Chain A
């Protein structure tokens, strides 16, 4: 388990998924803040400077596009997750600057690889 100062922010309304995802990430050495909705996202982004946001597209209180705008403005990469078959939405979000878009049930390996890549990039930038 690599030593890791970075925070992963998770937005996921489904309690079971949120819990499982948080466990998985913590098990791999990541610090995690997990929430069920987008409320106060702008403040959270500023206060915590996460390495990345993992966000379910179907949030109860914010559209995925709104989430993406906030994150792009804050310089935080976003990986979207979705349980719906929404190809055009995925394409749209990618075009607007999302880092990735994973269908649920998503491949854990892929998610961990994406996070690892971000961690390496962040370290290179620090040097």
Chain B
């Protein structure tokens, strides 16, 4: 049975965790919980989740520091702060650091669900994109150095003849390398190759 997504609740107040769990369950989400930021960070096998719901004020590692830590690790999972302490400078700071959203109590449950929905669907789309990039990277790694050279020149718009001159090989050889590049990357056209490599470049400058 599929569910709408997995939400990780981090709050030191058990009653709050339980009420969020119930709300999310009714709305079709799976949840996991931690009573503190430290507990999450100490977890060796972190659960695979689509969004974090963080309280701000927690003993030990507070919500802000936890968010900072996750960002520093390169974690792309969206973070939504849910807190009784709605002070503007902190909220703005959280948003500048990349929080997906920030809700102050009391809030409407429907609002929270709406924001979770948005965050989860964005993240799932991002996950697909990241997986595609990963797959493409793996395919590019299969290229020989010469094939990589040809790829680089082809996406820059050089013709086979121009590439041949640049690389000091025959146009026929360029053609062969090019065919192999297309095969290995699964691209159906130069335009596709350009798109693939520019997507990767945006994510990972200097890769190609």
Chain A positions within 8 Å of B88 at CB level: 82, 85-87, 90, 101, 103
Nearest CB on B from A114, distance (A): 11
Chain A positions within 8 Å of B100 at CB level: 95
Say whether B91 faces chain A, with CB atoms less than 8 Å apart: yes
Nearest CB on B from A94, distance (A): 4
Chain A positions within 8 Å of B92 at CB level: 90-91, 94, 100-101
Q: Give A103 to B89 CA distance when docked, in angstroms.
A: 8
Residue of A82, A88, A103 touching B104 (CB-CB under 8 A): A88
Chain A positions within 8 Å of B103 at CB level: 88, 91
A94 contacts B89, C-beta separation under 8 Å: no
Chain B positions within 8 Å of A103 at CB level: 88-89
Q: Give A95 to B102 CA distance when docked, in angstroms.
A: 9
Residues 50-85 of B at the A interface (beta carbon under 8 Å)? none
A91 contacts B96, C-beta separation under 8 Å: no
Residue of A82, A86, A87, A100 touching B96 (CB-CB under 8 A): A100
A94 contacts B96, C-beta separation under 8 Å: yes
A95 contacts B101, C-beta separation under 8 Å: yes
Contact with A along B91-116 (1 / 0, CB 8 A): 11001100011111000000000000
A90 contacts B91, C-beta separation under 8 Å: yes
Chain A positions within 8 Å of B89 at CB level: 103
Residues 54-110 of A at the B interface (beta carbon under 8 Å)? 82, 85-88, 90-91, 94-95, 100-101, 103
Nearest CB on B from A4, distance (A): 25
Chain B positions within 8 Å of A101 at CB level: 88, 92
Chain A residues close to B by CB (< 8 Å): 82, 85-88, 90-91, 94-95, 100-101, 103
Chain B residues close to A by CB (< 8 Å): 86-89, 91-92, 95-96, 100-104
